[in-house]
Amino acid sequence: MPRLGMVIDLKRCIGCNACVLACKQENGTPPGIHFARVITREVGTYPQSKRTFLPVLCNHCDDAPCVKACPTGASYTRPDGIVLVDNDLCIGCRACAVACPYMNRHYVAPGLLQAGYDGKPLSPYEALKYLDFQEGTTSKCTLCAHRIDRGLEPACVVTCPTDARIFGDLEDQNSRPRKLIEERKGWTLLPESNTKPSVYYLDA
């Protein structure tokens, strides 16, 4: 079985947030919701201090706590490993958001879709994109399943100016992400959570 995932090369990443905005425009997420984020930190003290950048998104875990926590079966894992939410089954209990140790579940609060950005009437673009969201349900990164199903890579991968995001089948021994994980000892976030993420990182 394939297991679709991604490697994020922190050496290449410059924390530019292109992935954040590519995700925003591809998915049309309402205000305040970002499926892709970049966490910036400062480490050390002057003059040995440095800034670091960590892009995050849903890890599409192999052992996804959000799926296990979902009482209705709305959260599910596709055969290719992508974790999705069926909005029609979601009751908005947010057990998934509590269960996700990575804070990658986003609740679409009632009223959120009534106006667009800045509280203005929906733009034609928002009217188009908001069809994908339902108030009172939980939304999340789909790994751009709609693109993958049409032979395209996720929006965050396509746009990444430094080619820091490498998408592919982690089960395929010859895939680029798989090889990079092996060559550069890829690691995952919060391994103690035993979630088996499909998003790996390479050292900066």
Partner 1 sequence: MTATNSGSKALDRGRWITSTCGMCLHGCGIRVLVVDGVASTIEGDPTNPDNLGKLCPKGNSGIARLYDSSRVLRPLKRTNPNKGPGEDPKWVEIGWDEAYEIVTRELGKIHMTDPRKLLCAFGDFQRIVLWGWPAAFGSPNFFTSLGNYCGGSYHPVNGSVDGSFASINDYKYCNYWIQIGSGDGFSSHLHLSGSAKRMADARMRGMKLVSIDPRCSVAGAKADEWIPIVPGTDRAFVLGMAHVLVHELGIYDREFLRDRTNAPYLVGPDGLFYRDDDGRAQVWDLQAKAPRPWNEVPAENVALEGAFPVNGWSVSTGFQVWKDLLADHTPERMSEVTTVPAATIRRIAQEFVEAAKIGSSIEIEGQTYPFRPAALNYYRGSQSHANGLFDNMTYKLFNMLVGNIDVPGGHLGVPLDHRGFFISPGEDGMLKPEPHQLHPPPPFKYPPDSTHLMEFFPIGFDAGQLNTETILEPERFGLNYRPEALLMYHSNPVWNLPETDKVEKILRQMKFIVAIDIQHTESTRWADVFLPARTYLESTLLNCLEAPVVTGHSMRQPVVNPIGDTKDAYEILTDLAEHLGFLEVWNSVLNLVCGFTAKPQYLLDAAKHYSVEEFWDCYARSVYGEERNLTWFKEHGHAVRYRNAQETYQPYGKLRMPFYFEFVKRTGAELRRKLAAANVTNWPFDNYQPLPFWKPSPVIEDGKRGYDFYAITYKESLHTFADTVVLSWLTEVSEKDPVHQGILINGATARNLGIATGDRIRLTSPAGSIEGAAVCVESIHPQVLAVGNATSREFVSNPRVQMKGSPFNRLLTGSLQYSDGATGGLESTARVRVTKVRAGGTENQSVSRSEAPNRS
Q: Is 114 in the site for partner 1 (CB under 8 A)?
A: no
Alpha carbon distance 93, 171 (integer Å) = 33
Q: Determine which residue in the list 4, 160, 181, 199 makes contact with partner 1, applying CB under 8 A.
A: 160
Contacting range for partner 1; rule: CB under 8 A; set: 49-57, 91-99, 165-173, 174-182: 49-57
Q: Is 1 in the site for partner 1 (CB under 8 A)?
A: no
Per-residue HEC secondary structure of 50-114 comes to EEEEEEECCCCCCCCHHHHHCCCCCEEECCCCCEEECCCCCCCCCHHHHHCCCCCCEEECCCCCC
From the CB of 53, what's the least distance to partner 1, in Å? 7
Q: Which residue's CB is nearer to partner 1, number 102 or number 107?
A: 102
Q: Determine which residue in the list 41, 68, 176, 185 makes contact with partner 1, applying CB under 8 A.
A: 41
Q: Which residue's CB is nearer to partner 1, number 28 or number 168?
A: 28
Count of residues touching partner 1 (by CB under 8 A)? 82
Alpha carbon distance 154, 82 (integer Å) = 12
Tokens at 197, concatenated = 């993420």
Q: Which residue's CB is nearer to partner 1, number 42 or number 172?
A: 42
Q: Is 196 in the site for partner 1 (CB under 8 A)?
A: no
Q: Determine which residue in the list 5, 26, 55, 61 makes contact with partner 1, applying CB under 8 A.
A: 26
Phi, psi (deg, nearest 5) at residue 6? -155, 145
Phi, psi (deg, nearest 5) at residue 22? -65, -40
